[in-house]
Amino acid sequence: MAKFDLDALNIEELAGLRDRASEKLAEKVAARQAELEAELERLSVYGGKPAKKSPIAPPAPRAKKERAEAEQAKQQGEGSVAEAA
């Protein structure tokens, strides 16, 4: 595994690294999910319930900034409702 001096990378390089890591993680999650679904199919032969299928793709994770903005908008929305009452 390659080692990176994160302090030496500029913002664009760090963002690219983050994007590549997210893509690789998504690939590995999808591969593992397929393995587990295949295993469920094999095990369903032995009894009970049919294997449960998972959704096609998990929802994409939000960036921290987007989550913070959503939380802030939610809090501002609640404040304005309280003031109106």
pTM for the model stands at: 0.50
What pLDDT was estimated at residue 15? 95
What pLDDT was estimated at residue 81? 46
Domain ranges of the chain: 7-84
The span from the CA of 29 to the CA of 12, in Å, is 26
The span from the CA of 38 to the CA of 29, in Å, is 14
Name the residue with higher pLDDT: 8 or 81.
8
Is the confidence at residue 69, as pLDDT, over 80? no
Residue pair 61/22 in contact (Cβ under 8 Å)? The answer is yes
